[in-house]
Amino acid sequence: MSTATHSLPDRARAWNVAMTAAPGDLDLRIPADDVVGTIPAGLRGGRLLSNGPGWTHIGERLAHPFDGHGYVRSYAFDEDGGVSLRARFIRTRVFEDEQRAQRIVHRGFATNPSDRFWQNVGYGAPRNVANTTIVRWGDRLLAGWEGGPPHALDPVTLETRGPDSFGGLIEGQATLAHMHRDAARDRLILCSVAAGRHTGITFREVDADDQLVQTRQAQLPGMTFAHDFAFSDRWYVLGGNPLALKPWRFARSMVGAGTLLESVRVDTSKPGELVLLPRDAEGPVRRVRLPKPTFVVHFANAFERSDGALVVDACVFHDFDFGEEFGYSGPHRPLDPSLPEARGTQRLYRITIPDGAEEATWEALVPHGVDFPRIDADHEGRETRTLVGACRADTRFSDPFDSVIAIDLEAAGRAHALWTAPRDVFVGEPVLARAGEGEPPHVIAILSDGLEDRTTLVVLRADALERGPVARVSLPLMPIAFHGDWEARP
């Protein structure tokens, strides 16, 4: 079957066009007169950054979005109320090779270069496409990817400087895509994973001068999946996420007849756990039992209460297996947005671990299936009031997302509000942005409309989400991003 989309139903066509859009490098300015509504004064001088796969239809094959080439976007809110957009591909070694060849050259987690298995034998160097996260640190932007060093970019031009190993600190290590800033200590926290029969975990913290401040290491029994983590004053927090190999599929992948992603499964026979590593002092790893089997992909935050209890907000699957992410089912088929709906819906839980306890309690914060949970990044590791995320208005499903949700964690009953995009328009990760001292935060989200070939940036008040956007900015269609960051006015 061809990846042509013209004959697909509207929703599937909209999803395919939005996921595989490839506008290339962009430099645009949208004047204030073309903004519907008004960019809040407190956001002006700041910018939204986002990163995601910007080139997935490579030659005659569709790459899994996990393996698409990184494409970073900067949406700068000008002082006069306009918006300046700059977008660039991240020019990794893999991008340069495949741009020259105009085909997939390097194997990825879920993508093979060829239908002929003998041309796929071996994995070679990791397919680091720098397509997952983006964060400002020091004099550069860092574009993260799962399994290798981030790539450094010029913070203004977005031009690629190259892989950044922090002076050799993480050279050759499989480093998680998610990096977290501890604003209170002015540190960047990195996590590297050594996979095998057992899983080695290394947390490192660097200061504003990129000097190593501390390192914590642990060995976890068995295979463990990690993509994100949380931190508090006292702890690093990971999901237990036990994995098991599918022996036959793993053997097929080694001879080029399958992919690595098809070769592992979540081991649902084991209980759900969180793994806690002491942050500032040497001590044993704590494995804390959760009420049900779990698989955690993204965390929102963690903090200690005054009674010593650790509180963790995380998105949790109770039943998960790899495959068909984003509706991907092979290099010659369109993406099918109904495929993710077949798996269990993830829920946003507040998990409470009493000081020294071996078991946790939890409560679902909202009835919706939520992912991409975000708080004000300057409040990570501390208690905070507002949490936002992407979800579906239909509580039976989560992705693909059509709504933004905001939760008041201090209100009675943890009140939440929802804003839903128009039909067949998809919502990316929302980012929380501070609008100034004493001002309520705003939520910035990117909407993707594949039927109208349009991307729309929307700004909403976090405390009045249901009123709809206070500003809309219409832009050329760009591919749906994975993660972003807010950089406030200097």
More confident residue, 313 or 254: 313
Per-residue pLDDT, averaged over 113-125, amounts to 79
pLDDT band for 256, please (50, 70, 90 cuts): confident
Q: At residue 459, does pLDDT exceed 70?
A: yes
pLDDT higher than 60, residue 226? yes
In Å, how far are 68, 104, 107, 335, 385 from 56, measured between CA atoms?
Answer: 5, 9, 13, 11, 38
* 266-269 contact pairs (CB < 8 A, 24+): 266/225, 266/241, 266/242, 266/295, 266/320, 266/321, 266/322, 267/222, 267/242, 267/243, 268/293, 268/319
Strands 57-58, 47-55: pairing kind: unpaired
pLDDT at 126: 78
What is residue 257's predicted lDDT score, i.e. its pLDDT?
A: 87
pLDDT at 488: 92
Identity (one letter) of the amino acid at 468?
A: G
Best CA proximity match to 242, nearest among 299, 294, 314: 294
451-457 LR contacts (CB < 8 Å, sep 24+): 451/10, 451/13, 451/14, 451/17, 451/424, 453/17, 453/21, 453/477, 456/425, 457/48, 457/75, 457/83
Average pLDDT, the chain: 93
Q: How far is CA 420 from CA 97, 183, 402, 465, in A?
A: 40, 32, 6, 10
Contact of 94 with 107, CB cutoff 8 Å: no
Give the model's pLDDT for residue 268.
Answer: 83
The distance from CA 250 to its chain's CA centroid, rounded to whole angstroms, is: 26
Strand partners, 75: 48, 85
Tell me the pLDDT band of 476, cut-offs 50, 70 and 90. Answer: very high
Condensed to tens digits (0 to 9), the pLDDT of residues 333-388 reads 999 999 988 887 899 999 999 999 999 999 999 999 999 999 999 999 999 999 99
Q: pLDDT tens digits, residue range 292-306?
A: 999 999 999 999 999
Q: Which pLDDT belongs to residue 1? A: 37
- Burial of residue 207 (CB within 10 Å: 0-12, 13-18, 19+) is middle
Nearest one of 70, 39, 91 to 483, comparing CA atoms = 70
Alpha carbon distance 328, 334 (integer Å): 7
Nearby residues of 247 by Cβ (< 8 Å), 6 or more positions away: none
Structure tokens at 272: 């759900």
Tokens representing residue 402 in the block: 């059509």
The whole-number pLDDT of residue 438 equals 72
What's the pLDDT score for residue 378? Answer: 93
Can you give the pLDDT at residue 345?
Answer: 87
What's the pLDDT tens digit per position in 11-23? Answer: 999 999 999 999 9
